[in-house]
């Protein structure tokens, strides 16, 4: 693809000629997209087309007017071709992830094979990652990729190598933001996952190859029956196959930093990345647990068919470990496995630590829950209303591997230089798209109505 370097002074005829050239190339390129394109060539094409699109916008901005018809046509062609290039990147990522096994990647074996599911719409394999797996291990690397620390250092304006600058340039958005390279996006997602409590509890992750992704799941188990000789074999009417649906929602995080700190602190980029990943991890925790499904994932507590156990109409304080045992009973009675983890507010975690037996010694967990992992997060509310009480909290217990979080692997970072300029600040707006779904809702129980100890 060879285009003229700028359209700022182009005439109407030149724009129409440009449109014909790029349309011809776009048609040829779209036919050839199969996920096998060279990554460097794709980056170069995307960078060139973004410059063209930016030039069209700059021309109109300079004249303080909107785009004319020819400019709109040319810009639309650029946008469509950029979408095709992103599709090529997605297909490359899908192809690579479907063909790899986690064992032996980078010379390290996790000791566990990588499970794969199938997208019912495309028929393509989707890897299912446990907390011991990394997104970064499933990215096609070009051989000169930069690490996330260097990338963020370049983003805040620190001196970095030409390779890092090149990576930053090829990721420039036509509106001034930065589409983060997939390698860096995967590292940030892994950092987020490491700080996320539902993933620490065992929730699994999948890359979402598209905005909407569907995989098969068993809604209800089949039944079996003993049948006498020469008797009618009964039909199984209980088994139901359904779909696990993911519809990627947008999660954003805004970090404001003083210009002086950016200039003086050599680790500013790393600190910004840590702040973004921590904030997003906490918000993702809340959405996975309590999300209402409106603009955010539908959380465990608002999902159909999960179990609930209440400490009373007006709530109550913990009764030893009995409340967890009652919750466990709800789960196993629904033919779900014994839970592996319980997530609670730090207040509840401390209350459990204060429990004593008749001799004043710390209360020992019963054998049935001795392996139950206790995790805490402040995203569990302590102001839930139950009857006349407004200081209740809850515990969400279950087999958290039945919770699946889907991530779109392309992130965007927009640096806002003017919005907070009067305060001497820069701001970084990070956008990630994700969704969650529950494979087996009956594997969870929400223990509600927990009052604090006096």
- β-pair type (444-450, 307-310): parallel
- C-beta separation of 404 from 244 below 8 A: yes
Please indicate, yes or no, if residue 123 is contained in any of the structural domains.
no
Please indicate, yes or no, if residue 7 is contained in any of the structural domains.
yes
Beta bridge partners of 215: 119, 244
Structure tokens at 104: 């032996």
pLDDT, position 80: 73
Out of 66, 99, 132, pick the residue that ends a domain.
Answer: 99
Residue 337 has pLDDT above 70, yes or no: yes
Better-predicted residue by pLDDT, 39 or 82: 82
pLDDT, position 8: 45
**Any idea what the CATH number is for the domain that residue 313 is in?**
3.30.2320.10
Provide the 3-class DSSP secondary structure of residue 7: coil
Provide the 3-class DSSP secondary structure of residue 426: strand
Highest mean pLDDT among 10-19, 79-88, 152-161, 247-256: 247-256
Please indicate, yes or no, if residue 364 is contained in any of the structural domains.
yes
**Considering the chain, what percentage of its residues have pLDDT values greater than 70?**
72
pLDDT, position 6: 45
Q: Write out the H or E segment, with its range, that includes residue 273.
A: helix 268-290
pTM: 0.70
Q: Tens of pLDDT along 120-158?
A: 777 777 888 888 888 887 776 655 566 666 676 676 666
Helices assigned H by DSSP within 69-133? 69-99
Angle at 56 between CA 55 and CA 57, to 5 degrees: 90
Please indicate, yes or no, if residue 311 is contained in any of the structural domains.
yes
Please indicate, yes or no, if residue 158 is contained in any of the structural domains.
no
Could you give phi then psi for residue 206, rounded to 5 degrees?
-135, 150
**Stretch 181-186: mean pLDDT:** 77
Out of 42, 66, 99, pick the residue that ends a domain.
Answer: 99
Out of 56, 79, 99, pick the residue that ends a domain.
Answer: 99
Neighbours of 304 (CB within 10 A): 7
Number of domains in the chain: 2
pLDDT, position 160: 63
pLDDT, position 422: 87
- C-beta separation of 312 from 447 below 8 A: no
Q: Tens of pLDDT along 239-266?
A: 566 678 899 999 999 988 888 887 777 7
Helices assigned H by DSSP within 291-381? 322-333, 346-353
* pLDDT confidence tier of residue 320, bands split at 50, 70 and 90: very high
Length of the chain in residues, anyone?
A: 454
* pLDDT confidence tier of residue 47, bands split at 50, 70 and 90: confident
Provide the 3-class DSSP secondary structure of residue 194: helix
Please indicate, yes or no, if residue 225 is contained in any of the structural domains.
no
Residues 6+ apart with CB under 8 A from 172: 47, 50, 178, 179
Please indicate, yes or no, if residue 37 is contained in any of the structural domains.
yes
Please indicate, yes or no, if residue 213 is contained in any of the structural domains.
no
400 burial (CB, 10 Å; 0-12 / 13-18 / 19+) is: buried
* pLDDT confidence tier of residue 415, bands split at 50, 70 and 90: confident
Residues 6+ apart with CB under 8 A from 177: 412, 413, 414, 415, 429
Beta bridge partners of 298: 292
Structure tokens at 223: 């039944």
Q: Write out the H or E segment, with its range, that includes residue 153.
A: helix 148-155
Q: Is 219 left (phi over 0), alpha (psi -120 to 50) or beta?
A: alpha
Domain, as residue range, for 35: 1-99
Residue 305 has pLDDT above 60, yes or no: yes
């Amino acid at each position: 693809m060879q285009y003229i370097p700028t359209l700022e002074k182009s005439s109407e005829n030149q724009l129409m000629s440009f449109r014909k050239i790029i349309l011809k190339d776009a048609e040829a390129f779209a036919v050839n997209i199969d996920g096998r394109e060279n990554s460097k060539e794709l980056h170069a094409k995307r960078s060139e087309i973004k410059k063209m699109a930016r030039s069209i916008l700059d021309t109109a901005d300079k004249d303080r007017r909107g785009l004319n018809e020819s400019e709109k046509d040319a810009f639309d062609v650029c946008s469509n071709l950029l979408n095709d290039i992103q599709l090529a990147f997605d297909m490359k990522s899908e192809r690579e992830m479907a063909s790899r096994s986690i064992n032996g990647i980078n010379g390290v074996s996790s000791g566990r094979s990588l499970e794969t599911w199938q997208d019912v719409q495309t028929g393509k394999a989707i890897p299912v990652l446990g907390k011991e797996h990394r997104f970064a291990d499933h990215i096609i690397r070009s051989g000169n990729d930069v690490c996330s620390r260097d990338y963020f250092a370049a983003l805040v304006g620190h001196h970095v190598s030409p390779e890092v600058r090149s990576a930053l340039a090829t990721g420039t958005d036509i509106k001034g933001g930065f589409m983060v390279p997939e390698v860096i996006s995967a590292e940030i997602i892994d950092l987020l996952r490491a700080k996320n409590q539902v993933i620490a509890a065992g929730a699994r992750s999948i890359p979402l190859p598209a905005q909407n992704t569907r995989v098969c799941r068993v809604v209800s188990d089949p039944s079996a029956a003993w049948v006498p000789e020469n008797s009618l074999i009964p039909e199984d009417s209980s088994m139901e196959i359904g779909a696990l649906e993911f519809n990627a929602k947008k999660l954003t995080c805004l970090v404001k930093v003083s210009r002086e700190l950016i200039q003086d602190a050599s680790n500013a980029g790393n600190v910004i990345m840590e702040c973004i990943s921590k904030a997003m991890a906490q918000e993702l925790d809340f959405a996975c647990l309590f999300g209402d499904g409106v603009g955010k994932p539908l959380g465990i507590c608002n999902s159909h068919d999960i179990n609930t156990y209440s400490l009373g109409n007006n709530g109550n304080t913990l009764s030893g470990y009995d409340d967890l045992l009652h919750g466990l009973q709800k789960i196993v009675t629904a033919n779900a496995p014994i839970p592996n983890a319980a997530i609670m507010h730090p207040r509840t975690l401390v209350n459990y630590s204060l429990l004593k037996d008749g001799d004043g010694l710390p209360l020992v967990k019963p054998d049935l829950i001795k392996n139950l992992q206790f995790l805490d997060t402040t995203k569990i509310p302590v102001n839930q209303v139950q009857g006349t009480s407004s200081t209740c909290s809850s515990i969400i217990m279950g087999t958290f591997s039945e919770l699946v979080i889907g991530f779109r692997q392309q992130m965007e970072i927009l640096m806002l230089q003017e919005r907070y300029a009067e305060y001497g600040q820069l701001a970084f707006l990070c956008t990630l798209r994700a969704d969650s779904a529950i494979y087996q809702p009956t594997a969870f129980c929400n223990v509600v109505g927990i009052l604090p100890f006096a």
